[in-house]
Amino acid sequence: MDIITSVSEMQQRMLTARQAGKLISFVPTMGYLHQGHLSLLEEGRKRGDLLVLSIFVNPTQFGQGEDFEDYPRDLEKDSELARQVGVDIIFAPTASGMYPNGYSTYVDVEKITENLCGASRPGHFRGVSTVVSKLFNIVQPHVALFGAKDFQQLAVIRRMTLDMNMPVEIVGMPIFREVDGLAMSSRNVYLSPSEREQALVLSRSIAAARELVAAGESDSATILAKLTQMITEQPAARIDYVQICHQLSLEDQDQIDEDSVLLLAVFVGKTRLIDNGFLQVRHD
């Protein structure tokens, strides 16, 4: 397994691999790998001849006062985990390599970035779409894998790839959860034991919403009111948003239908956690 930090070296290596007929699968991450990331890598191993992992804490997707400086990093541990699941190349560029002096080009995806995290974290998705488009240009993947926990991010990347005619297959992978239901996240390391327990209210809220829908409730406002009460009963929890949206447009829905998805962003202590779940049984 190789670790490459140079943008130009990485791009040349990937162009050479493509010319040799290699199928490249790619998992972009900000590192501090957990089992959710490893599930993406394991699937990527099956889908390509060459498996590439990027590790880059992208400064342009963090807003003022967010946790860019404190975001957990451990390249040595990440490298060992990557080796165990068969990664061929880790691309770990520097911020100055990705955004050299005078950098002034950004990618904006409109409409689906206006709600949810886009509303509460202005500029976040401009940073995400910009860095992913840059990574696609550098890595030249045939297939790229993303976790569905970042539901809006996945939708934004699908939209960008389609709109910009990028020849990359985007694969969304299921949320990987702890045994007790907490969605795996690199930020879970921030949680104290008490906060860790209270964080389970996110997955329990999804379960409660599904139970309400299964019992015949179809009014979004009624469901959201009950979930809001559940969450605010946790002393360390503070809601950023709890919304029911159409899975494609990400517009709010008044009534539940087969395309409804519940999306949550909740601060537990100082840690912002996200989660989501479809509210109807899906057969795809």
**Residues with a known catalytic role:** 37
Query: Rounded to the nearest 10 degrees, how much is the dihedral formed by the CA atoms of 11, 15, 17, 19?
Result: 180
Closest listed residue to residue 169, CA positions, set 137, 198, 146: 146
CA distance 64 to 122: 10
CA distance 273 to 78: 22
DSSP label at residue 211: H
CB-CB contact of 113 with 156 (8 Å): yes
CB within 8 Å of 267: residues ≥ 6 apart? 237, 238, 239, 240, 273
Angle at 28 between CA 196 and CA 92, to 5 degrees: 100
